[in-house]
Amino acid sequence: MKIIRTILKSHYFSEQPPILIDIGASGEINKKWKFIAPYSTCVAFDADDRDFQINEITNSQFRRLITFNRIVTDEQSSYLDFYLTKSPYCSSLLKPDMEKLKPWVFHSLFEVEKTISLSAITLTQSLSQAGIDYVDWFKTDTQGTDLRLFRSLSTDVSKNILVAEFEPGIIDAYQGEDKLYMIMQEMHEREFWLSSMDVKGTQRLSADYAGKVGKFKSKRIFRRSPCWAEVTYLRQPFHSSERQLLLLIVFALLEEQYGFALEVIDFGESKYRDEIFSQCKKAVFKKIATEKWKIPFVIMKRQLNKLFSSFND
């Protein structure tokens, strides 16, 4: 949307660009950030065993991209054990709870193949070394330690975060992990609201029976149960500065939360006399009108799919 460019090119962000934190990025940009990346500074973490480095990449998709080759932790420790599992997506600072995982069909993916020692850094240390004293969007996917990392930020930083993304567990997968219910309680108390939740899962079926039934049949016949979730929280606008309100509008639009965007705009108009809020309102209504025209086509496509399905039957 043109209004997003208008906001991010305004004087509010010339000296204070959006700061995006990405923990567990795996070398890929958050899809939600592609539109705002050229105006933003991203701090990304990628753990490996090289000597400590802070890299600032100039020819990236971001205005600035700062990378740390360190495992991020809430503890003050130079090195920590890291459990490498059969599936790299299950590797974690926390040891998998294999006994609790036994009933689940993806049990074997969590088998520890090797334990290594990785250099560690806290979020507070890393932000200080990067010369950053605020964060606007916090995203983390660390296999069990998301909430403790969020809690490890100083109050001055955490109280001004506008968006927080987590990927917590629902079932018992790691020893001492941060769970979804813990995050929901914490974020409610911090005046955030849940913008989206994408629940992921697998079948509750032991490996022995899965082998007898067959992998293909087990996926088709056995119901998938919730095991973890991707959640995104937006902050309530109650104590926000003008810059934060404008950025909250941008983030709401990226989240396709047009109603909340209008709510923030109304709050901004009641508190400040900046013409940019009325521009935002016009842009949001224009976007809503554009989206409205897409609805009949979606309905028509569904009806045609049903028609073709009946012919096939």
Contact 95, 78 (CB under 8 A): no
Contacts 24+ apart (CB under 8 A), 154-159: 154/124, 157/127, 157/133, 158/190
pLDDT in tens, 217-251: 666 678 889 999 999 999 999 989 999 999 999 99
Q: In this model, does residue 50 exceed pLDDT 50?
A: no
Most confident listed range (77-86, 93-102, 296-305): 93-102
106-110, 174-178, 203-207, 261-265: lowest mean pLDDT where?
203-207
Closest alpha carbon to 82 in 54, 45, 53, 119: 119
Confidence class for position 49, pLDDT limits 50, 70, 90: very low
Please tell me the predicted confidence (pLDDT) of residue 30: 84
Q: How far is CA 218 from CA 100, 170, 222, in A?
A: 20, 21, 5
The domain 2-75+121-235 is classified under which CATH number: 2.40.128, 1.10.150, 3.40.50, 3.30.70? 3.40.50
How many CB atoms neighbour CB 301 within 10 A? 10
Contact 93, 119 (CB under 8 A): no
pLDDT in tens, 245-283: 999 999 999 999 999 999 999 999 999 989 999 999 999
Please tell me the predicted confidence (pLDDT) of residue 313: 47
How many CB atoms neighbour CB 117 within 10 A? 12
Task: Return the domain boundaries, the chain.
Answer: 2-75+121-235
Whole-angstrom Cα distance, residue 156 to residue 269?
26
